Amino acid sequence: PNGPFVTLNCSNLVESLAESQLFGHIRGAFTDARDESQGYFRSANGGTLFLDEIGELPLKLQPKLLRSVETHEVQPVGSSHCYKVNLRLVAATNRDLRAMVKAGTFRDDLYFRMSAAAIFIPPLRERREAIPAFIGYFIEQYNHLFNKSVSEISRAAIDVLCAYQWPGNVREISNAIESAVILSENNRIVVTDLPEQVVDGTGAELLNPHREQPTNGHGPAPIANHAPQIDFASEPLGFLLDDVIKKTLVRSLEETEGNRRRAANLLGVSRSTLYRMLTRYGIGENPHRLSIQPTL
């Protein structure tokens, strides 16, 4: 479908009005229903409906959602008429739906119907190779949002961010980088710009202030069993953001022997996003030919 892209966060559904929000209602269907409403399904007709946090969908509404998925039609509240809908339904959740099915809080028939083409994205702590790319991406976003010009990040800050477990996943790293960009001085992010819980969660050895100062022109070795499999140890202390992203892209291609589909999966991005990044940073078919020149 090439029509509208409609999004709904299921955690925002008001249980007493959830059916009306999804499927619409006719005038007079209930108190205060002064006008007819199409609902999210009919609003997305011909396009895509994205149901975020599907695990928060009220249990009593789940069979009605299942019926709409299977019959491709919706029945507005208070109406005897059903409307055909043609749309692509996409759902996402950070909940373990299989565990919810066992606990009886999510219907098994709806789960099996919606998991026909499921994509599992591992948590950030299980794909640390992607962390530097996220760092660069979010710094660019918040540079634009706050009219900042952060262009460099210290080696120690990279270590801290890569070692942290990120229990809040991508949203948490986004918030951490937002805070760091706001607090940064001289267009450079250092450890002291990072949120306290991120720094405290990586081990006392990362708090050594000498890590921010170059000694022999090289940073310390990666933290054992924590840092991603990207060799930052051989690089100088400071990194331009473009260098961080380039090195991450090159490493992903090296680990997947140039297979871009696998590289995209490794980084947790779509193939189209990977292609755009490769083009932007001038990375061709042979990643070994790329020369990256980090700066102090």
* pLDDT value at 110 more than 90: yes
How many CB atoms lie under 10 A from the CB of residue 266?
Answer: 20
**Last residue of a domain, which of 89, 114, 139?**
114
In a domain, 25, yes or no: yes
In a domain, 66, yes or no: yes
In a domain, 119, yes or no: no
Instruction: Tell me, yes or no, whether 88 and 133 share the same domain.
Output: no
Instruction: Tell me, yes or no, whether 109 and 156 share the same domain.
Output: no
Instruction: Tell me, yes or no, whether 256 and 180 share the same domain.
Output: yes
pLDDT in tens, 157-198: 888 898 898 988 888 999 999 999 999 988 889 999 999 889
Instruction: Tell me, yes or no, whether 128 and 83 share the same domain.
Output: no
* pLDDT value at 121 more than 60: yes
**Residue predicted with more confidence, 267 or 78:** 78
Written as six digits, the tokens of 277 are 């990044």
**Residue predicted with more confidence, 223 or 117:** 117
d(CA 5, CA 113): 22
d(CA 137, CA 178): 11
Provide the residue range defining the domain that includes 57: 5-114
Per-residue pLDDT averaged across 122-128, rounded? 83
Instruction: Tell me, yes or no, whether 97 and 146 share the same domain.
Output: no
Share of residues in the chain with pLDDT > 70 (%): 78
Instruction: Tell me, yes or no, whether 131 and 78 share the same domain.
Output: no
- pLDDT for 1 equals 54
Closest C-alpha among 101, 80, 87 to residue 29 = 80
Instruction: Tell me, yes or no, whether 107 and 253 share the same domain.
Output: no
Instruction: Tell me, yes or no, whether 133 and 94 share the same domain.
Output: no
**Contact in structure between 23 and 74 (CB atoms under 8 Å):** yes
* pLDDT value at 288 more than 60: no
Instruction: Tell me, yes or no, whether 107 and 150 share the same domain.
Output: no
How many CB atoms lie under 10 A from the CB of residue 68?
Answer: 19
In a domain, 294, yes or no: no
Instruction: Tell me, yes or no, whether 172 and 263 share the same domain.
Output: yes
d(CA 12, CA 42): 19
pLDDT in tens, 214-269: 333 333 333 223 333 444 344 433 445 566 677 777 877 877 878 888 877 777 66
In a domain, 295, yes or no: no
In a domain, 146, yes or no: yes
Closest C-alpha among 153, 166, 238, 239 to residue 202 = 166
Q: What is the mean pLDDT of the chain?
A: 77
- Cβ neighbours for 276, distance < 8 A, ≥ 6 positions apart: none
* pLDDT value at 100 more than 90: yes
Q: What is the largest CA-CA distance in the chain?
A: 78
pLDDT in tens, 137-150: 888 889 999 999 88
**Residue predicted with more confidence, 55 or 215:** 55
* pLDDT value at 118 more than 70: yes
**Last residue of a domain, which of 90, 114, 138?**
114
- pLDDT for 206 equals 39
In a domain, 280, yes or no: yes
Instruction: Tell me, yes or no, whether 145 and 256 share the same domain.
Output: yes
Provide the domain count of the chain.
2
Instruction: Tell me, yes or no, whether 105 and 187 share the same domain.
Output: no
- pLDDT for 240 equals 53
- The domain that holds 42 is classified in CATH as 3.40.50.300
pLDDT in tens, 18-45: 888 888 877 766 667 677 788 889 999 9
**Contact in structure between 130 and 88 (CB atoms under 8 Å):** no
- The domain that holds 250 is classified in CATH as 1.10.8.60
* pLDDT value at 99 more than 90: yes
**Last residue of a domain, which of 94, 114, 134?**
114
In a domain, 164, yes or no: yes
- pLDDT for 180 equals 93
* Winning range, highest mean pLDDT, from 101-110, 116-125, 213-222, 230-239: 101-110
- pLDDT for 296 equals 30
* pLDDT value at 292 more than 70: no
